[in-house]
Structure 1
Amino acid sequence: MGKYLFIYFFTLLCSLTNLFSNDLRARGYSLIPAPQQTYIEDGDVRIDNNWGIENLIGSKSIALNRLIVGARELHNLDFNGNGTGKISLEIIKTPLFENLNAKRLNEAYQIKILPEKVKIVANAEAGIFYGVQSLLQLLKPVHGGVFEIPIGTINDWPDTELRVIHWDTKHHQDRVGTLKKYLDWAAFFKVNAVAFEIEDKYEFPRNPVIGAPGAFTKEEMIEVTSYALDRFIQLIPLIQAPSHMTYVLKHQEFEHLKADKESNYHICMCDEDAMALIFELYQDMIDATPGVEYFFVSTDEVYYAGICGKCEKEYNVENRSQTWVDYVNRVHEWMSRRNRKMLAWVEYPLLTEHITQLSSGIIDAIMTPGRDVEWIESENKAGIKQLSYSSMQGAEYLFPNYFPTRYRNRNTQGRLKDASTSIPRILEKGGRPIGTFAAAWDDSGLHSETFWLGWATVTQYGWSIGKPSLNQNISDFMNAFYGYESPNMVKIYRLIQEGARFYEDLWDKTESTERKYSYGSSKGKHSYPRTDLILDLPALPFKENKEANSTQHTFGKKYAEKINMALELRKKNDHLLDLLSHSISKVGRNRYNLEVFISIAYLERHVMDMIVDIARAEDYLVAAEKENNPQKVVNLMIEAYNVIDGIMEEEGKMWNNLVQVWEKSRYEKGRNTEGKNFVHIMDDVKDHFADRRRGLEFMMAPIERMDLGGWQEQLWEVIKEYSNKNNVKLTGIPEERLED
């Protein structure tokens, strides 16, 4: 075993010195993850509908099905021709490559491309399946249903055995068809596990009150699980416990299980009824995911382990860590009896000196380069396996920070860069990662379509560690996900990210009038105020107790920098919308993804227009108070009124479109169903952006707080009062329509 580990890590070390753009890319072909070895010769092979399939693996093979269906869906190719060209699929017994453990060898494959034959061989069905996915990616359109691939040989295998992406559904529920589509695309990028953070989106037969209205049934979960397993993907249930349990503790039936009656965040870890409930949640998800080898026991941000009054030991740093260890070991034993390997967030409040108490075989899914050497050595000593953790989404609004940007008053190199170097940096510290975890949190309610570049990138660097260059990875993703004839996609991503950061940075943060003080944080139980996002609106003219001509550019002055930024970004947003409109008619696949991007771009545009137009309305009001001619005064105020009217009219159009687009792939957020109403009670510790409203309108909450409609009504009262006092006829106000 030691010999093979040495060879494995020596191979990794060699690969880290070679950040490369491979010879496939040099010839204009894309393949993600990038293969381990390519031997490309001069010349290309042309493939069309005259080609057929030489099937040596059985008619029921998922790899055969993927070749037939994938060729048709992605390329409009039917491999049922009578020509001499053949695609051969064969499983062989002799190991393709040396020094691979059984799991990695099962996923290895070889593609030999000859003038009249493409031969895909592997030692197992999974390897054939991945070889087919690679072939489907390589097919490059030439013209009229003809495609090219390069002559040569590709030898490929994964460097790690577990490549996990994260589906977090705490604030939304995807449709079953969407989940299946996502599994197909995950398999396309050679993902072999999904951590499905389910929260209340499952019916939980043993405790059905927990399941949200319309939550997935057991039959639906089994269906999706089977669909995943057919594609060599482990659908790993992830249950939040013992913290992040508002989805349970918000219900009256379980209030008595709180660790502290003041908070719905944490369940009492020293209450056997609470533990019994947690095990029932676990068992429900085991029953719903038959055939899966793993279970994710979250242990995420367990700030208050042992704070419960039923706990015998004093709540302090050491006992908090020990309570966490005892919980994890107990759950690990329970999972082992049910043949589930256990993933967990091995993190705070765990102390380094307690790590060696943990049960061997636990998989730490949150190993990062930031861990110190002592922590990593303690995990190795305890037999804790590790996944290299890269978060593609933390708390950003609208769109992830994939690329370098300034975020929350600091410069960041971007999440893609971090992901591309994570495993090498962990290895340098002595870590032994067996895979990757690509997190995509739902805290801010981003659409899952925004995560594909991140999911594919983390998987890329779990398949072939340290290579290729990040630029090649991004380009390969765009070609694979949208098709070779997909222009300007990198530019689109960068522009939409820039607009999202403007949206996020636009607002003032004021003490919340919507939420009570927080129960506490990672620093312990302590109360502190929450904040609301909002903008102040301009002062109204001709109000009582105001000096004559006193209306000033308060809005324009306070937000001058943001107004100027909006004016500049509108030009970029014009370009973004032009690129999106053009690209959606050109991409070969995933047009819905661009529909989602367009909806986000229009939301970004709306807030840019809004702040500029409110400043323009203020200009009219300032001019009105300085004007001596009563008719002109009224006309100016009516102009301001109409500007606000235009803002709200465009807002309605933009928002209706966004909701319509997003709900093509997901259910209405916070929906009721017949016989069951959604219970919307917010977390006492966390304050997720996506939880501030029951539905999707959380994205509009800052605008809603401004109450432009109320401000406009006040302006109308000023206009009427002034016109009556000065005998001025009102003209130019839009008439209310019946449909309004």
Structure 2
Amino acid sequence: MVIGYLKKNKYLKMKRISLFQSLIIVFFGILNTVAAQKGTSELASLGIHIIPYPQEVRLGGDDFILQNGLDIILDKNATSTDLKTAELLKKSLIDDWGLTVNITRENGTKGIVLTREGVGASIKDQGYSLSTGKNGLTILAKDEDGLFYGVQTFLQLIKKHRTGPFVPGMEILDWPDVKIRAAHYDTKHHQDRASYVKSFIRDLAKYKINMLVWEWEDKLAYKSHPEIGAPGAFTMEEMKEFTAYAKDYHIELTPLVQGLGHVSFILKWPQYRDLREVEDSDWEFCPLEEGTYDLLFDLWDEAMEATPGSKYIHIGSDETFELGVCDKCQDKAKEIGNSGLYHLFAEKAAKHLKKSRKVMLWERPMGWENSGSPIKNMEPDKDLVLTEEYHYESPDFKFARQAKNMGFEMFMYDPNPGLEPLFLPYHFKMTSNRISSSPRKVKGSLKDSYDLLTASANSGLFHGMVNTSWDDSGLHNQMWMLSFATSAQYSWNATAPGLEEFENSFFQNYYGPNVKDMEELYELLNEGAYYYAHSMERNVWHHGDIGKTHLPDLPRGQYVEYDQYWNNEYSEIIKRSRTQKESMKRALQIININMGQVERNAYDFEVYQSIAKLIEHTCLTYLDLSELEYTITQAHKNAFSDRAATLRSLEKAELLIGNSLLRREKVFADLVSVWEKTRLPKGMSTPAKKYFFKMDRSRHFANRTPDMSYLIYDEQLLDMEGYLEKLRAYRKSFQLKF
């Protein structure tokens, strides 16, 4: 990287190396040697962790030492946007480093110079150069975005020293590989608080994400159809405020209001039943009903009104499971195929929307030709922006190239990390949805993203990238941050660093240099989430089958008769529960250590803790049930010889169940309390409006119940309360009679 930089760039001259910088280089000499052997980047070898990593870096020259009374120097003709960037920089330096900072337009070289004057050909769109000097640091950019991104890099370069904060001597030339870098923000099954939305925007901006595709469904208080907006939904004015706030951080807030499919939040309402493709399914609109468009146009118009200045709107429209089923659509499909129906809908939508916005939808390049029902007698609207996957069909970009030649604008679709509840399969995925079937571990989502983005970012075929974060299983949004950062890194710079270094850099960048054992923690939570998902048949339920763990047999009769089956039937999950319990013990140890010493985003560890404790509770519940059967067995054995011992065993059995229920109540209440620090109560009603709950057609894990109890719903199905009541009644009867 450094050699390539020196060969290619002549616009920056190497400055003399300061004594301070020399000491740093000597100090890190051995570390650098080891780092080089492992392929560690230049900045990481100095303990600096930048995301995304700059395109070109050259170390050396004078260090820039930040002192009180620091000036931020703007061009005399700097725009209001440039001034806002300077103000955000000033606030960060005051809040994070306790400095006194001034913003000035006076000419000078001392301080931090933010300039867009005298830009050469080496500075690309959204790009910048950054260079240090003894008395100053200069960020030079071609446009407003580039100046902002240069500032984001500068803020990540600052290091601590006993004499004060400083930036080691260096020169950077940087630009993005992909023009639009989008994060998909899915709030279909929860609503974050306004303060969290703003903090999320700030986090994305730090990593140079410049579009937020917000799938808000019923989280906007629609004026035209007020019943659709959930209780507590953001008002039009609040959404406009979010849009303006995001713009300050160089992020376009793009609304995603689902169109053809995924519309249970609309069609669950009885008054819209006649617009359904299938009368008994609220999942999908009929594309041949004019009322479909009248209703959607109202919602889309409000979505555009709520996001003034944005250039795109996303209409979703994926997973159209029932397309072509109703009588009218069956007849039309004979003429144009199911894909024809899909694009008939998309074309009518685009005709209404593209006067004001570019229209994005979940369609893959050449999907209309490669589907099971190819288009006949019509072509897709070339103004549509294609944002769905393509790489599974053609690793050589055949279909993407074909669509590009036809004139389509396309976004890379960073592979969805997964739909597992609680945590994401960053490091590995499991090949089976049952614990007892010896599942194998395969490549995780981090490697999936890395492989896709590094292969396609420099292909020249894609206008943008979109990372998806589906809310189907109700994860806390903070669990997606590593995924968002991964997409940000490799859509900005697809060549460096390597994946291992990047993950380590993320943890240090996001939590601070004192964070420990994060890769191990993620491995443990990755494994624990699969254990949780596969226990009590949770994942079986999600895929459409019904199943649940059963309770041990209740005792009956005067000799405590029972069917001894439970420990034999559930031997595999009991064994796994013992192992998993120890893993969660280690996870909680790592969490507790970090909670007391991380510099940033400590709240994440509260969420990690709530997840680990829920997984641990699941382990303990299985072990309790195992012990319950053994206790009943002991009661049975003593029934012929020692009635008092039998009674004690029955009382112990009651205590086991009672304590398990109390533990569940506490673990669940603590989890809800932690999660609701950043979000509104799930499925809440207000005095003015009652929440209307209906399970969706796709059986989303998070939509099994209106509230957060979807996380313990499977335990509730066990009815341990009823079991305890019957057990207590049997024990009292036994005590009285015998």
TM-score band w.r.t. shorter chain? 0.7 to 0.9
Residue 400 of structure 2 is matched in structure 1 by 376
Q: Deviations 1:481-538 (Å, cap 9, x if unpaired)?
A: 11222222222222222211111121236997xx9xxxxxxxxxxxxx9334531111
Residue 91 of structure 1 is matched in structure 2 by 116
Pick one of 272, 277, 290 that aligns with 2:295.
277
Partner secondary structure for residue 60 of structure 2: strand
TM-score in terms of structure 2 length: 0.87
Residue 47 of structure 1 deviates from its aligned partner by 3.2
1:598-617 equivalent positions in 2, closer than 5 A: 598-617=609-628
1:660-679 equivalent positions in 2, closer than 5 A: 660-679=673-692
The answer to whether the aligner puts 1:224 opposite 2:237 as a matched pair is no
Pick one of 688, 701, 710 that aligns with 1:689.
701
Residue 223 of structure 2 is matched in structure 1 by 205
> 1:499–1:604: 8 Å Cα contact kept in structure 2?
yes
Amino acid across the alignment from 2:652: E
2: distance between equivalents of 1:207 and 1:306? 27
Partner secondary structure for residue 142 of structure 1: coil
1:306-385 equivalent positions in 2, closer than 5 A: 306-311=324-329, 313-315=331-333, 319-338=337-356, 340-347=357-364, 350-352=368-370, 354=375, 357-372=379-394, 374-385=398-409
> 1:377–1:431: 8 Å Cα contact kept in structure 2?
no
Amino acid across the alignment from 2:728: W
**Residue 640 and residue 472 in structure 1: after superposition, are their counterparts in 2 closer, same or farther (change >3 A)?**
same
Partner secondary structure for residue 38 of structure 1: strand
Residue 128 of structure 1 is matched in structure 2 by 147
2: distance between equivalents of 1:254 and 1:304? 17
> 2:74–2:103: 8 Å Cα contact kept in structure 1?
no
Please tell me the root mean square deviation across aligned C-alpha atoms, in Å: 2.7
Residue 289 of structure 1 deviates from its aligned partner by 0.6
Residue 85 of structure 1 deviates from its aligned partner by 6.1
> 1:436–1:459: 8 Å Cα contact kept in structure 2?
no
**Residue 143 and residue 533 in structure 1: after superposition, are their counterparts in 2 closer, same or farther (change >3 A)?**
farther
532-541 or 438-447: which moved more? 532-541
Stretches of structure 2 lacking an aligned partner (at least 5 in a row): 1-36, 433-438
Amino acid across the alignment from 1:187: A
The answer to whether the aligner puts 1:71 opposite 2:96 as a matched pair is no
Partner secondary structure for residue 395 of structure 1: coil
Pick one of 286, 308, 313 that aligns with 1:290.
308
2: distance between equivalents of 1:543 and 1:690? 42
Partner secondary structure for residue 212 of structure 2: strand
Residue 27 of structure 2 is matched in structure 1 by none
Residue 626 of structure 1 is matched in structure 2 by 637
> 1:169–1:199: 8 Å Cα contact kept in structure 2?
yes
Q: Deviations 1:411-432 (Å, cap 9, x if unpaired)?
A: 321111111110344479x771
2: distance between equivalents of 1:649 and 1:461? 46
2: distance between equivalents of 1:143 and 1:580? 29
> 1:50–1:80: 8 Å Cα contact kept in structure 2?
yes
**Residue 510 and residue 361 in structure 1: after superposition, are their counterparts in 2 closer, same or farther (change >3 A)?**
closer
> 1:307–1:315: 8 Å Cα contact kept in structure 2?
no
2: distance between equivalents of 1:59 and 1:444? 42
2: distance between equivalents of 1:49 and 1:126? 27
1: distance between equivalents of 2:540 and 2:675? 31
2: distance between equivalents of 1:510 and 1:317? 39
1: distance between equivalents of 2:677 and 2:538? 33
1:157-306 equivalent positions in 2, closer than 5 A: 157-306=175-324
**Residue 680 and residue 600 in structure 1: after superposition, are their counterparts in 2 closer, same or farther (change >3 A)?**
same
> 2:467–2:484: 8 Å Cα contact kept in structure 1?
yes
**Residue 444 and residue 191 in structure 1: after superposition, are their counterparts in 2 closer, same or farther (change >3 A)?**
same
2: distance between equivalents of 1:564 and 1:570? 10
Amino acid across the alignment from 2:733: E
Residue 479 of structure 1 deviates from its aligned partner by 1.7
Residue 406 of structure 1 is matched in structure 2 by 430
564-573 or 469-478: which moved more? 564-573
Partner secondary structure for residue 369 of structure 1: coil
Partner secondary structure for residue 367 of structure 1: coil
Residue 440 of structure 1 deviates from its aligned partner by 0.4
602-611 or 380-389: which moved more? 380-389
2: distance between equivalents of 1:476 and 1:116? 29
> 1:66–1:132: 8 Å Cα contact kept in structure 2?
no
Q: How many residues align?
A: 681
* Greater share of residues in strand: 1
> 1:62–1:129: 8 Å Cα contact kept in structure 2?
no
Residue 480 of structure 1 deviates from its aligned partner by 1.8
> 1:53–1:79: 8 Å Cα contact kept in structure 2?
yes
Residue 537 of structure 2 is matched in structure 1 by 508
Partner secondary structure for residue 263 of structure 1: coil
2: distance between equivalents of 1:76 and 1:496? 36
2: distance between equivalents of 1:622 and 1:75? 65
2: distance between equivalents of 1:543 and 1:181? 62
Partner secondary structure for residue 59 of structure 2: strand
1: distance between equivalents of 2:692 and 2:704? 13
**Residue 700 and residue 533 in structure 1: after superposition, are their counterparts in 2 closer, same or farther (change >3 A)?**
farther
1: distance between equivalents of 2:276 and 2:466? 30
**Residue 431 and residue 321 in structure 1: after superposition, are their counterparts in 2 closer, same or farther (change >3 A)?**
farther
TM-score in terms of structure 1 length: 0.87
> 1:304–1:320: 8 Å Cα contact kept in structure 2?
no
2: distance between equivalents of 1:487 and 1:43? 32
**Residue 655 and residue 437 in structure 1: after superposition, are their counterparts in 2 closer, same or farther (change >3 A)?**
same
Residue 578 of structure 2 is matched in structure 1 by 567
> 2:418–2:445: 8 Å Cα contact kept in structure 1?
no
> 1:96–1:109: 8 Å Cα contact kept in structure 2?
no
**Residue 291 and residue 509 in structure 1: after superposition, are their counterparts in 2 closer, same or farther (change >3 A)?**
closer
2: distance between equivalents of 1:371 and 1:426? 14
Residue 200 of structure 1 deviates from its aligned partner by 0.8
Partner secondary structure for residue 48 of structure 2: coil
The answer to whether the aligner puts 1:495 opposite 2:495 as a matched pair is no
Q: Deviations 1:93-115 (Å, cap 9, x if unpaired)?
A: 534526x4xxxx1x211110123
531-540 or 497-506: which moved more? 531-540
Pick one of 590, 606, 619 that aligns with 1:595.
606
The answer to whether the aligner puts 1:724 opposite 2:736 as a matched pair is yes
Residue 698 of structure 1 deviates from its aligned partner by 0.3
> 1:365–1:386: 8 Å Cα contact kept in structure 2?
yes
**Residue 467 and residue 543 in structure 1: after superposition, are their counterparts in 2 closer, same or farther (change >3 A)?**
farther
Residue 175 of structure 1 deviates from its aligned partner by 1.0
Pick one of 490, 509, 519 that aligns with 1:461.
490
2: distance between equivalents of 1:54 and 1:599? 46
Residue 374 of structure 1 deviates from its aligned partner by 5.0
1: distance between equivalents of 2:617 and 2:208? 38
Amino acid across the alignment from 2:235: T
Residue 14 of structure 1 is matched in structure 2 by none
Residue 454 of structure 1 deviates from its aligned partner by 0.3
Amino acid across the alignment from 1:422: L
Residue 158 of structure 2 is matched in structure 1 by 139
**Residue 708 and residue 43 in structure 1: after superposition, are their counterparts in 2 closer, same or farther (change >3 A)?**
farther
Residue 523 of structure 1 is matched in structure 2 by none
Identity, % of aligned positions: 28
Residue 450 of structure 2 is matched in structure 1 by 420
Partner secondary structure for residue 612 of structure 2: helix
The answer to whether the aligner puts 1:706 opposite 2:718 as a matched pair is yes
Residue 181 of structure 1 deviates from its aligned partner by 0.7
Residue 636 of structure 1 is matched in structure 2 by 649
Partner secondary structure for residue 68 of structure 1: helix
Residue 84 of structure 2 is matched in structure 1 by 62
> 2:412–2:462: 8 Å Cα contact kept in structure 1?
yes
> 2:186–2:216: 8 Å Cα contact kept in structure 1?
yes
Residue 3 of structure 2 is matched in structure 1 by none
693-702 or 609-618: which moved more? 609-618
**Residue 288 and residue 511 in structure 1: after superposition, are their counterparts in 2 closer, same or farther (change >3 A)?**
closer
1:3-14 equivalent positions in 2, closer than 5 A: none
**Residue 290 and residue 80 in structure 1: after superposition, are their counterparts in 2 closer, same or farther (change >3 A)?**
closer
